[in-house]
Amino acid sequence: MSARADQRVEIYEMNVQSNWWETFFTGVAVDMWVQAVPEEHTRQEAERLETLLAVRPGAEVLDVPCGAGRLASVLAERGYRMTGVDWSPDCLRHARANASHQIQWEQRDMRDLPWAGRFDAAFCLGNSFGYLDDEGNHAFLRAVRETLKPGARFVLETPMVLENLLPHIKARPWWKAGDVYLLVENQYEPGSGRLNIEYTFARNGHIETRRGSHRAYPYRELVALLESSGFIVELAEPWTPDAHMVTFIARVM
């Protein structure tokens, strides 16, 4: 997936519905994300996840939200018993159609995880964290905690750490993934601590615009949120301001 950008993020308010994620992941948006990550990169991510989660084949692992299931599918091939949770029916259709191994796919709100103490590990990667308000994000982390066995690990990898986000983000980057062009307008709203985003998709002469929003947390605040959800927190790698993603390893107390 190639990218271009022009200038730094602008600071003013963009109106985005709080439940934007309920309808965003359909049609061209899903088609683009399915094409965005090369298979070899996904396999490298899966291999790294195995190490970070400290699990072996046969373990039960939760991917939430799983999107179109690219990581769950590779981990299932490696012998893990996978459960993938996502709200989007379109994402789950892609996941079911492309998985070569048996995986439990569940259409659910990411806070609705009714499997107390079931999983040996869980993960949330990419741009999947921060969709909700503060109460909702906390509820999500607590829900993940409740699904895990004692000592299990939850890997949260996110670009939404404020100290890493603001120095790098551009106002209007664009990408091409497969046959889809995507222009993004980023607007950070400091009063709410949210990055509001307008996405313009173009494919075969058809243009479609949608909006989304992510809560961006200062590093210490996000660590405190994980700790208050019942985790002991460490970093996968030493923190650096140059990183575009921060990977937290959260272990059940």
- Structural domains in the chain, CATH included, are 2-18+163-214 (no CATH), 21-160+217-252 (3.40.50.150)
What is the pLDDT at residue 198?
Answer: 97
End-to-end, the C-alpha distance of the chain in Å comes to 39
Please identify which residue in the block is written with the tokens 């994980």. 226
- Strands (E) located in the chain: 2-4, 60-63, 81-86, 104-107, 119-124, 148-158, 174-177, 180-189, 194-203, 206-215, 231-235, 246-252
Q: Are strands 231-235 and 206-215 parallel, antiparallel or unpaired?
A: unpaired
53 SS3 class: helix
C-alpha neighbours within 13 Å on the C-beta side of residue 35 = 16
What CA–CA distance (Å, rounded) separates 98 from 70?
9
What CA–CA distance (Å, rounded) separates 228 from 142?
8
What is the pLDDT at residue 8?
Answer: 54
What CA–CA distance (Å, rounded) separates 249 from 184?
30
233 SS3 class: strand
| Cα radius of gyration (the chain) | 18
Predicted TM-score (pTM) of the model is 0.93
pLDDT in tens, the chain (253 residues): 545 544 555 555 688 999 999 999 999 999 999 999 999 999 999 999 999 999 999 999 999 999 999 999 999 999 999 999 999 999 999 999 988 789 999 999 999 999 999 999 999 999 999 999 999 999 999 999 999 999 999 999 999 999 999 999 999 999 999 999 999 999 999 999 999 999 999 999 999 999 999 999 999 999 999 999 999 999 999 999 999 999 999 999 8
What is the pLDDT at residue 238?
Answer: 96
Measured N-to-C along each axis, helices 27-36 and 89-98 cross at an angle, to the nearest 10 degrees, of 40
What is the pLDDT at residue 14?
Answer: 82
Digit-coded pLDDT (tens) for 90-137:
999 999 998 878 999 999 999 999 999 999 999 999 999 999 999 999
**Contact indicator for 70, 49 with CB cutoff of 8 Å:** no
What is the pLDDT at residue 165?
Answer: 96
Please identify which residue in the block is written with the tokens 């396999």. 43
User: 87, 89, 98, 105: which is closest to 27 by C-alpha?
Assistant: 89
Please identify which residue in the block is written with the tokens 């890493």. 164
Token representation of residue 44: 């490298």
